[in-house]
Amino acid sequence: MTVHSSIVHATVHIPEGRQSVAAVEDRFREGSPAVTLSRGVLQRMYGLAERTVAPDHDQPSDLAVHAARRLLADTGTDPADVDLLLYAGILADMEEPATAHVVADKLGLGCPVLDLKNACNGVLNALEVADAFIRGGRYRRVLVTTAEVSTRESRWEVDDPADILSALPSLSTGDMGSALLVEASGRPGIVGSRFFANSWGWRAATLPNPYAQHRRLGHLRIDSQQLVDSFEGLPDKVRGALKEIGVESDDLDLVCVHQPSVPFTRVVCGWVGVDPARILATFPAHGNVATNTIPLQLATALGNGRLRRGDLVGMFGFASGASAGVVVCRW
């Protein structure tokens, strides 16, 4: 019998902390008195209303564990039945060991684990890896987890006014944890995935490793125009990949795209050929939650009835690096 993989469930942990766009701007002005920041600029430029903020003591593993515990409870899955745990977050508890070990320990898992990282496309890549492992017969049940505490990377202190545009995106990030369960199935669930890269564009968005910088904390810097430029040619490849999988955008019952801002979400919708009105907007109320963006859309759609068993789902990611990918699944 041919073995397929299927995404069984998706959950998120949304921290209770909230920071309004006005509060974000006020704190930036306090830390950067030499830089003029007009009121409401974050909402006008990015569409941000407020962002989610995790408690100071919570590590990425804590947020991932909260989401994973909910998923295991929702699906009635015994932790002993999980064959592999993947952690796909950008941010980690520590450099060594893999954060996946910390997540597994807190969940009481005894299975193999590994970290998998590719900027905001980490979860999509993790789904591709889980699918390959399951179809290859190596594992039958894979738990994909991720989490970000990106608000801690906000650049509150900017001395040079010329640096403000590269700092503003860091003020629109949000904190969250997510989990997805992928299982072996007799019917096609994940029906196709494709990924592409323009690695020459890696300089457009960077968060330096403090250990590689002689223990000096790095700053998140994003050149928005350079980032958009780094996706040159990738939208065509993604649209071609969708056709190669045998799907048209109009066939999709639910479309999920990575949402680093409202304007960029509209750009991505144009790239993949879908009406922005079909997208569940998550950015305005949460901020850019990075690897959590697509799991958040899945969990939201499950919660409000937009996603039902048998629906065809298209998940599209465009992330710094630059990389682009699409995963199509039958729910």
Residue 32, pLDDT above cutoff 80: yes
Q: What is the mean pLDDT of residues 296-322?
A: 97
Check residue 214 and give its pLDDT. 54
Check residue 208 and give its pLDDT. 81
Question: ∠ CA(245), CA(247), CA(248), 5° rounding?
Answer: 140
Query: How sure is the predictor about 213, in pLDDT bands with cuts at 50, 70 and 90?
Result: low
Check residue 207 and give its pLDDT. 86
DSSP labels, 200-267: GGGGGEE---TTTTTTPPP--EE-HHHHHHTTTTHHHHHHHHHHHHT--GGG-SEEEE--SSHHHHHH
Residue 30, pLDDT above cutoff 90: yes
Residue type, 280: L
Kindly state the helix (H) or strand (E) to which residue 62 belongs, with its residue range: helix 60-75
State the Cα–Cα distance between residues 292 and 63, nearest whole angstrom: 11
- Low-confidence winner among 55-69, 219-233, 290-304 (lowest mean pLDDT): 219-233
Residue 210, pLDDT above cutoff 70: no
Residue 97, pLDDT above cutoff 80: yes
Residue 114, pLDDT above cutoff 70: yes
Kindly state the helix (H) or strand (E) to which residue 195 belongs, with its residue range: strand 190-197
Mean pLDDT of the chain: 94
Residue 217 exposed, middle or buried by CB count within 10 Å (0-12, 13-18, 19+): exposed
Percent of the chain, pLDDT > 70? 97
Residue 288, pLDDT above cutoff 90: yes
pLDDT in tens, 220-279: 888 889 998 999 999 999 999 999 999 999 999 999 999 999 999 999 999 999 999 999
Q: When comparing pLDDT for 83 and 36, which is higher?
A: 83
- Low-confidence winner among 64-73, 127-136, 159-168 (lowest mean pLDDT): 159-168
Check residue 309 and give its pLDDT. 95
Please indicate, yes or no, whether the overall pTM of this predicted structure exceeds 0.75. Answer: yes
Query: In 3-state terms, what secondary structure has residue 156?
Result: coil
To the nearest 10°, the Cα dihedral for 319, 275, 9, 57? Answer: 50
